[in-house]
Every structure is written in C-alpha cells, then in structure tokens.
Structure 1
C-alpha cells in the first residue's frame, strides 16, 4: 500500500558515466565531432584530444539532466486498489459479491490485500535498484517498517473501537496486535532485506539470466511456501476453549471447540488460528470473524446476523484474518511483485517487459486454479497457496493492462483521479478505512453526540 515511498524520478540503468555522448545533447555531439574532424592535422595532438574530451566531460557534468519518466501505471494501480478498498468497505454489506468471502472462494474484496502487497514488491525493486550501502539501506527499511507497524497498532489496535459511541482508547488487555498495516510492514521489511542482500552480480540480458541474478530471492519464496504448507497440513490441532461476554453484567460464557485433527482447513480447527491463539493470545485477535457470515453461523448469510438455533460452538470465536502464519504467504505475494519490478529495471522495451510479465502471470493463474480444483481451496483468511497464486496472477494481468493503457499508449486523462489517489494512498487509507474521517464527522456535536455534522447535512439520524 503505502508502506513504501512513492516511485519518484524513475531512472533507467543505461546512464553510463563513461559514455560522454549519452550525457550530451545531440547538437553538441555533432559540433564536437565536426570541430575535431576539421581541426588542422598539426593541432590534433594527444594533448589536444585529451582537452576536448575533458571539455565534453565538464559540459556534461554541468548540463541539466532531464528528469526520467515516472512509472505512472504503478500510481494508477495503487490508486485503483485504494478505490476498490473504499468501495468494498462501504458497499460490501449491501452487495455480497463485493464483500469478503465468508471462507472458501474469491470475491472482489479479496483482491485488495494481495494487490497492495504486489505493489509494495514492485516499488521495492525500483527503490533499491542502486545501493550505495547495504547496512544504511537496511537501517532505513527497518525504520520505515517500524513506523508503519506503530501506525497500524495505533489505528487498528483498538483505539477507535467504539466509533458510534464516541468512545476511544486502547485496552491493552485486548489490543489487536495484527492488522492490515502490520502485515504490510512485515512483508515490506522481509522483502526489502531480500532485495538489499540476496542478489548476485550477474549481468541480466535475458529471462534465464534474470532468474539467476535473483535466484536466492526465489529460494526464499519457495522455502516460505514449503514451510507454510508443512505447518498448515502437518501440525496437530487439539481441542480448545474460549470465553465471550454475552451480556454486559453477566459472567463470560465459555465455549468448547472439539478438534483433535491434523490438516484441517475449516474455520474451527485450522493451524492458522491455533498459532495465533497460542502466540498472540485469543483476546488479542479480531473480534468479528469473517466466518460468522457462513450459513452455519448466520441466518442472514452471507451477511452477519443472529445465530441459528443449532450454531456450532466456534461461530463467535475471535479469528484474525491478518494472522502470523497467513502473513508468511503475504510475504510471498510481495516477492512475486518484486520480480515484476525487476523486469522494469532490467528491460526497457515495452514488448519485452509485457512478454516477461505475462509468462509468470499465466503460470500463476493456471497453477492456482489447478490447486483449487484438486482440493487446496482458494481462501483469503488462511492465505492459501492457491489464493496466493490466483491473486498474484490477477495483479499481474491488471498491472500489464494499466501499463499498456497509461505508459505505452499515454491515456492518462481518464486515470488522473486514480493517479492522485495512488500518490496519496496512505493518507486516504487512514482517513477512509481507519475511521479517522467518520470520527471527525461524528466527533463534533452540540448537546448530544447525535447532534453532529452528519445530522447537519442530513445524513443518518
């Protein structure tokens, strides 16, 4: 999302300092050449030639260099993702097709998170393509990640937990440790360190040489995927209990969930939830689980609603959709985006870029759909391997389409709004998705909290 710096002054790799002609305007090059050719034979001494070269270098050093073109398609892609996020947040409850899938399956809302992570990866490839000091770059990346993590804890850890009652503050006993910004911070830091330290000095002039140069980064992606699959399908999930407060003055009610299984990917007995309960603590997880919209847990499914009479015990259990194990595959999505950014850095021809983008895009889509067909279902909450592949492939398709329209064909007028939103993505996210703007509208009132700005403009009651 916006856990990274916007791509400003996008540079090509072809600026060789030793090539004097590339630093000079064409007219100056021609004049220098003609002056050298027309000079008398006696004057073309080695000292004279050396002086001409030095003059050219001095001119090139003081010549104002034109700014390299900005990769507009990345801003447009980021802005489109922010707009999609706002759309699903505001209209998801009204249109089920826009809301997150209750468990298995894929809806429009389920593309938002992987699209943000994909953009982070692309941006990191461009930001760290030229490094002067790896230690300094690592320190700065760690500092950026910590800032984003702190911002996520403040905005999503529970500070604005009762907006309608204008009750703010953080209950440390129940603060939510993970969240969207926290997940992006973790993925950003891991992938940034991979980009800084895990690349060889091989020259890139083809697809295979590109893979060789970044083979260690691909090894990290494979190791993380293998680790995720081993834990998801290999760990044993025992029975577990949880408590919820059903009434303000009553004692918490205890529920017992029967599991005793291995390799289960259902809502109650999966390893993703077990790891979060053991490490983070169940009181620090998201209190409104997405599976509460399943038919087993809601009579208004696919919307939230009252529990059915025979609802299972796990329906009201907290579950974090941005948990620890699922964030492992989020890092893989970011690494895939990093590969797409490498193609931008090393290949300048539009046609070559598009070909090298579409090859992994097609493979990811086919592989992800095949996994879903054979039983490894697409699941956003678990961030399954099939979900990783399909959403990363979809991000590649959308990115190539925007690149063709904006950077190749130059059709920027119709995407100016999205471009602006992409350049201010973090600000828009905080205002729209973290309840800061709603709090501003409701936070100023006269006499009663219901007499606020919204009532003044005729919105709400």
Structure 2
C-alpha cells in the first residue's frame, strides 16, 4: 500500500526546501540566522521578521531571539504521518481505513492531499523573503531532483519481495512514478509559482490578497482545465498487456477493449493510457487498486482470487501516482500555498480563521456537488472533485489544529504528534519504506533465514 510524505517548512529561502517528508526541526546554531532551511523555522507571526540591529549596537554581542514556530503545521504533519502508518498497517483489516478500490473516499485517501497541502503552506513561509529569484529557483530544482531520486530508490524496486529476501532492481521493470516523485513535481511547480508569480501589491484585505497572487490562481485554473480536457477528451484505443500467470509458463496476453473518450472506469481512462504510452506498461505499479473491486476480487473490497468471468483488465498494471493525476495534484499544493499566504499577510487569529474558512467551505461544497452530478470523487485519477473535497478537508483540519495549538495553547495534548511531524522523513523511511524490515532480515549468518528475527523467535 502506498505511503505518503511531504516537505519541510522553513521561514526563509537560503536552504529553502529540503524535500522529502517535511519536518520543522530547528537547529540551535542555524535558528539564529535570518535564512533557515525549510523544515526548521515556521514562525507564528510571519509579519514580525527579525529586525537588524542598529549601527550603534552592532559591535555589542547580542543574542538574537529564536522566532516562534507555527506548531500547528508540525502537528498536522505528525497527524498525517500517524494516519499513514495506521493505513499501511491496518488498512487490509479494516475496509474503512483502506484506499477506495475506485470511486469513493476513505480515510486513507486523505493522506496524500494532506501532505501536498502541507507542502503548499510550507512554501509560503519559505519564500516570503527572497534575495535572488534565480538562486532560489536553482535550489528548488535541486531539491526536487533529490526527492525524485529518493523516490526512485525507495519505490522503484529495491525493496520488492521483502518476504522472499530477493530484493533488487530490474531496470527493465523499474517503477518511474511514485509518491515522492509526485511530491517532487508538485513542490517544484508550486515553488516556482511562489518565486516568480507574485506581484508587489500591498495586502490589507481578502481582495488585495487575491490580486497579489492572481497569476498563481491562473496557473491552478490552467492545470485544472488541461487535466479535464485530457481526461474527458482523449481517445483511448484498445490495448493489451502480458503477465506471467505461472512461474514456469510463458506470459499470457490479455486484450482490453476500449475505443472510447471520457471514460473514467478502471480499464479505459486517459490517466492509464498516458502512463502506458509514455512509460511503458512494464514500468507501472503491478498491484493495481482496482484489483479489489467486485469485478476483480471475490473478497472485495480486499484483494482476492478472480471471480468467474472477471474482466481482462483486472490484472493489468496501473500506477496510482500516474503522470496526469500527479499534474492535478499540483492544484492541492497551490491551495495550501494560499493558506500559507494568509499566515504571512495577516496576524490576527480571527481574520486568519475567517479567510481560511471561506475557501475551505467553498471547496468542500463544490467538490461534493461535482460528485453528485457525475464527476466522481476518485483518488487514483485524482479527479477534480477529489481535489476540491480533500483540499477543503485539509483546510478544515488545519484550522482546527491551529485554533487548538497556536491560539489556545493546548500543546501537551499534541506533543507526540508534533515530534512525529518534526521527524517525518525518518519515520517514513523506517516505517513505510521497509527499511526497518530490511535491517532485521538483511543481516544473517550462513543462510538468509538465520537473521535477527529468528534469533528473537520470530518467523521460526
């Protein structure tokens, strides 16, 4: 099952966004610097930037106070990491926690958009002060590249078949897309928008905020329009694929009949066609989510044997983090960016809450209306209705955490989630990418079965 991650949240831009799972950990030595690394300082009152010491006092030693951090963002990230772990470990046992087999929305389907939303909020805090746009763009590109490479390493094949102790990478079948790759794409586009697409307008009201960042909203609208045009306008022809049903037998060929436009079902959608065309079907995720639908599993909504007369597409590879759906995921990041702008430009808690609540309510209502009129909520396709509902829900949860933690000061209740949010990348790699199981199984004596697990009486 896929796991999710996001990006660090910084105050300024010198080391702006060290991608991968975000954390807000503050280095004691670097927190006194005006520019910090992305997951390290997220001040609560962003308007109150540290003032430079006067000329007469520059020669006197001073201790620069550490700016307060937006704790609610750490808590929100930690809550999302905890939800990710819960979904990974218990999703197969409790259908309500598992991803929806196709249309619909479950608790697991919120994890990815929550992380993308956090990425957007973090970027607004990171790039609120820019000394050089070109330098900031270069650093953003490098960090996106790092996250892309990390995604290929963790999700491209290295840790497959852990239980058989046969890890490795077959370059002919490596998976090119994935969770971290999607984060990298969304982060890069949102970061470039924040660096280059904002005017010099003064912000003192809601309309002036929209004017200042109007070009970013234009980008979001263009992405949504292109996505809808491709999803509902591309012609999907018939296609076929091969799988090896028996270890010693020849691969079996399956033919899937399509020849349609605008289909959003598992077999003939444009998202899958684009991935098959650009990447090759052998480079897609080999355990498709739709294999849990009633048409493909007698144990639906869980995986299971094929029922009699199962459609030909049931065993076809399909990437839940496909290219077209990942492009649409950028919009979620841009929505989070807008919430971060409100933090940057408004200091009053009541004003922030009002300006957050309005778009949140509109997104949820609009997304549910789209689903009611036939544009189904679908995580795998990252449908427009799914984008609206999940981004709006992320806004609701963020506002609630903000009021509880940063306004009312109830930090004791969330201290563990705050810690998880500050160490999200480490937790993700250990818990969700099979690094911990690899460590337990990878050191052995004589035979791969004589490992640490056997030593403690597990798996004997």
Same fold per superposition (TM over 0.5): yes
Partners of 2:213 and 2:425 lie apart in 1 by 30
Provide, for residues 281-337 of structure 1, a one-character-per-residue CA deviation record: whole Å limited to 9, x for no partner.
100000000000001000111110111111000000000000000011110000000
1:7 to partner: Cα distance: 4.0
CA gap of 1:404–1:460, structure 2 versus 1, over 3 A, is farther
Shift of 1:66: 2.0
* Alignment TM-score, normalising by the size of structure 1: 0.89
Counterpart for residue 46 of structure 2: 12
Alignment of 1:28-107 (within 5 A): 57-59=55-57, 62=60, 63-107=62-106
Q: Deviations over 1:398-427 (max 9, x none)?
A: 101111111111111121111111111111
1:322-401 equivalences under 5 Å are 322-401=321-400
- CA distance in 1 between counterparts of 2:117 and 2:268 reads 30
Q: Distance in 2 between matches of 1:284 and 1:15?
A: 47
SS in 2 for 1:287: coil
CA displacement at 1:12 relative to structure 2: 2.6
Aligned to 2:165: 166
The number of residue pairs the alignment matches comes to: 425
Question: Is the partner of 1:164 in helix, strand or coil?
Answer: helix
Alignment check: 8 A CA contact 1:7 1:71 kept: no
Secondary structure class of the residue paired with 1:173: helix
Higher radius of gyration, 1 or 2:
1
Q: Per the alignment, do residues 360 and 272 of structure 1 end up closer, same or farther by CA in structure 2, a change over 3 Å counting?
A: same
Residues 105-127 of structure 1 show CA distances to partners (whole Å, capped at 9, x for unaligned) of: 00010000000100000000000
> Is structure 2 residue 255 aligned with structure 1 residue 252?
no
Q: Distance in 2 between matches of 1:406 and 1:443?
A: 42
Counterparts of 2:273 and 2:59, CA distance in 1: 61
Shift of 1:15: 4.4
Render the CA deviation track for 1:257-289: whole Å, top value 9, x for unaligned.
Answer: 000111000000000000000001100000000
Task: Determine the C-alpha separation between the residues in 2 that align with 1:456 and 1:14.
Answer: 56
CA contact (8 A) 1:7 1:127 kept: no
**In the alignment, which residue of structure 2 is the partner of 1:235?**
234
Cα deviation code 1:363-398 (max 9, x no counterpart): 000000000000000000000000000000110011
What residue is the counterpart of 2:26 in the other structure?
none
Alpha-carbon distance, 1:450 to partner? 3.6
3-state DSSP of counterpart to 1:254? strand
The answer to whether the 8 A contact 2:291-2:297 is kept is: yes
In structure 1, C-alpha distance between the alignment counterparts of 2:252 and 2:325, rounded to whole Å: 29
Q: Quote the residue 1:206 is aligned against.
A: 205
2:123 — aligned with what?
Answer: 124
Distance 1:84 1:431 in 2: 15
* Contact 2:46/2:125 (8 A) holds in 1: no
- The answer as to whether partners of 1:287 and 1:317 remain within 8 angstroms in 2 is yes
Do the aligned partners of 1:293 and 1:305 also contact (CA within 8 Å) in 2? yes
What is the deviation of 1:68? 1.4
More helix by share: 1
Distance in 1, Cα, partners of 2:151 & 2:218: 30
Maintained 8 Å contact 1:9/1:67: no
* Alignment CA distance shift 1:458-1:84 (3 Å): farther
Provide the C-alpha distance between the structure 1 equivalents of 2:384 and 2:456, rounded to a whole number of angstroms.
47
Residues 377 and 441 (structure 1), Cα distance of their counterparts in 2 relative to 1, 3 Å cut: same
